[in-house]
Amino acid sequence: MGKVRGSIAGIGMTSARTRDRLVERLRAHGIHSEAVLHQIRNVPRHLFVDEALASRAYEDTALPIGHGQTISQPYVVAKMTEALVDGFDCEKVLEIGTGCGYQTAVLASLVKKVYSVERIPELLRKTRRRLRDLDIYNVQFRPGDGWEGWPKYAPYDGIIVAAAATVVPEKLLEQLAPGGRLVMPVGAPGYQELMLVERHHDHFEQRSLGGVSFVPLVKG
């Protein structure tokens, strides 16, 4: 599984106290998984944003990463990760929307293997290098259309989608294993419901985990 190399994580502008404050804020807002909170504390979020924004890396806010994309706020990353893995043996995960790789890095130490799809090649190139520098090797990347998923390695125990659509893509439901979980924002641009979808044999149950706002899941 992935790990964060201490020499890279560093402290400098991001003291342990700063990270602890973020973790306590997330705990106060209802994140209870100690494994997820441990990852939020340990993954060096300042390495996933531009240097100009690094001083804001441990604020609980989304930040731009270029190409019209954002790094999700830590609370949303923690909420989605907790919904996917807490109390669940989730070994193989499909991630749609690699972005800068922050969500990927948080997941990597919690599951056996992550398969991550990103449609913007330049983001993907940077993220490959970034995760390699952090000694995270249990992630396989693919450029492609998130609406199509990654059929080659299906079925997946978990699917996490870091972009919004008005419906859950049918191809992703098909690639979810029986007993598996899918977490994604569903709704119109500007406001969506974060949905947890669970597959029970041939039917799906879903429930809302609250309101969120994500960039759209673009086709093609």
Q: Which residues are catalytic?
A: 72
Contacts 24+ apart (CB under 8 A), 185-190: 185/161, 185/212, 185/213, 185/214, 189/164, 189/216
Distance between CA atoms of residues 183 and 24, nearest Å: 24
The angle, 0 to 180 degrees and rounded to 10, between the axes of the packed helices 74-85 and 34-42 is 140
Distance between CA atoms of residues 210 and 83, nearest Å: 12
Q: What are phi and psi of 122, to 5 degrees?
A: -65, -40
Name the residue among 75, 73, 61, 62 with its Cα closest to residue 25.
75
8 Å CB contact between 118 and 163:
no
Secondary structure of 48-98 in HEC code, one letter for each residue:
HCCHHHHHHCCCCCCEEEECCEEECCHHHHHHHHHHHHCCCCCCEEEEECC
Judge residue 93's burial from the number of C-beta atoms within 10 Å of its C-beta, 0-12 exposed, 13-18 middle, 19 or more buried: buried
